[in-house]
Amino acid sequence: MKWRRRDIAAACITALSLCASAFFAAQWWNITRANNAIAALAAGHDQPAAHDDPARLQAARGLFLISQLHLEEAQAIAERMRDADASARSTLLYALANAHMRQALMIFSSAPMRQVAPMIQMAKSEYRASLRLDPSNWDARYNYDIAAALVRDADPPPSRRGEEMAHERAYFPDIPGAPNGLP
């Protein structure tokens, strides 16, 4: 009876170790395949990236698409990576924002501001998203400040001087001095 229990235990341990070996071999194969695809993308060779691929591979595919100026496809990958690794998504969003800024600056001197402003606004929103994921990215913070200086988020409506004075008087009605704020 003791030998049978030992044989059953040995068979269970063997089966579990075979299952664990198969699982880790599959994991190793997936990591190797992803690393090879990332290396190919870095070398300039297009590789597909599925929705269930690792975030690093999806980000590498997005960076490749940005280098080929396919920004809409890279934007779709960034949207698809919403629940992925924050570092990989932050890197992709930062690269997208830089690409939008490059496009805007290339046409800045020759195009009207109404064509340039949407690209800069898109870059600003991508810089903000990148900074939410990685607040320590000082390059993104610096580039966001430049984009914010080029296009303000909410410009105040132009006002006339007479309207300003009427509002100023309403705020400070009890200041001593000559009437209508005159010296």
Q: Over the chain, what is the mean pLDDT?
A: 80
CB-based contact 119:100 (threshold 8 Å): yes
The pTM for the full model equals 0.68
Q: What is the DSSP letter of 111?
A: S
Within a domain: 14: no
Interval 1-26 mean pLDDT: 84
- Tokens representing 169? 């008087």
Domain total of the chain: 1
Torsion of CA 88, 117, 160, 173, to 10 degrees: 0
Inter-CA distances, 99 with 75, 102, 126, Å:
11, 5, 11
Q: Which residues have CB under 8 Å from 169's CB, separation 6+?
A: 180, 181
Residue with more model confidence, 25 or 111: 25
Interval 172-177 mean pLDDT: 50
Each residue of 112-140: pLDDT tens digit? 777 888 889 999 999 999 999 999 989 99
Within a domain: 139: yes
Within a domain: 10: no
Within a domain: 3: no
How open is the CA angle 110-152-95, to the nearest 5 degrees? 70
Q: How far is CA 143 from the centre of its chain?
A: 13
Within a domain: 164: no
Interval 56-76 mean pLDDT: 89
pLDDT at res. 88 = 87
Within a domain: 148: yes
**Least confident span in 81-90, 97-106, 141-150:** 81-90
pLDDT at res. 165 = 47
| Interatomic CA distance for residues 146 and 181, integer angstroms | 39
Domain that holds residue 28: 23-153
CB-based contact 36:60 (threshold 8 Å): no
pLDDT at res. 55 = 83
CATH number of the domain at 43, please.
1.25.40
Within a domain: 9: no
Confidence check: pLDDT of 94 > 90: yes
pLDDT at res. 179 = 56
| Interatomic CA distance for residues 111 and 57, integer angstroms | 36
Within a domain: 174: no
- Tokens representing 142? 């610096």
Each residue of 17-64: pLDDT tens digit? 999 898 888 888 888 888 888 888 888 888 888 777 888 888 898 989
